[in-house]
Amino acid sequence: MLKKKLTYKIIIFDNKQNKNAALERKEFIKYLGILIDSNLSWKHHVDYVALSRVTGLIAKLRYFVPTHTLLTIYQSFLAPYLTYGLVAWGQASKSSLDKLLKLQKRALHFIYFSNRNRHAIPLFVDANILPLIFSYYESIAKLMYDEQHGISPKSIQALFEYVHGILQYNT
């Protein structure tokens, strides 16, 4: 059996002023704020988000500000890192996503002066915050709702093809 040789194709958009530009292979790149690697493992992006210093800020401020202020800090500084582009990178490996869940739990334990061995579910409920995996499910559900109702971008709509009416039976 003959193995087919993989070929990669690229296109370079050039403004004709920079003729001596060189291509450089990178392990990952940052595009629109998301770190994308060649395997789409999202490891670099998850590590970048996990290095957030917001939990340290919350740990220090919790002695001086009320709980609602700490929750506002969480929602303002940590939640955007956890949810931005989640539809794309939300299928990262379980071990990667567990890092971010631990980050969420640590922040909530600091906010509520809770023992870190205590279950975090009541803290998520009190804070009205979804654990990361549920945020991912919510973002996918919203995307599919928008697509179903024709309010998603045309580029997203082009990814789906409806099959109703093609088959003789309900699917």
Residue-averaged pLDDT of the chain: 87
Instruction: Find the radius of gyration of the CA atoms of the chain.
Output: 22
pLDDT tens digit string along 9-47? 777 667 776 666 677 888 888 989 899 998 889 999 999
What is the structure's pLDDT at 117? 87
pLDDT tens digit string along 50-71? 888 899 999 999 999 999 999 9
Q: What is the DSSP string of 35-72?
A: EEETT---HHHHHHHHT-SHHHHHHHHTTTS-HHHHHH
N residues, the chain: 171
Above 60 in pLDDT, residue 86?
yes
Q: Which residues pair with 30 in a beta bridge?
A: 35
Above 70 in pLDDT, residue 170?
no
pLDDT tens digit string along 4-17? 677 777 776 677 76
Give the residue carrying structure tokens 């409806």: 162
Beta strands in the chain (DSSP E): 28-31, 34-37
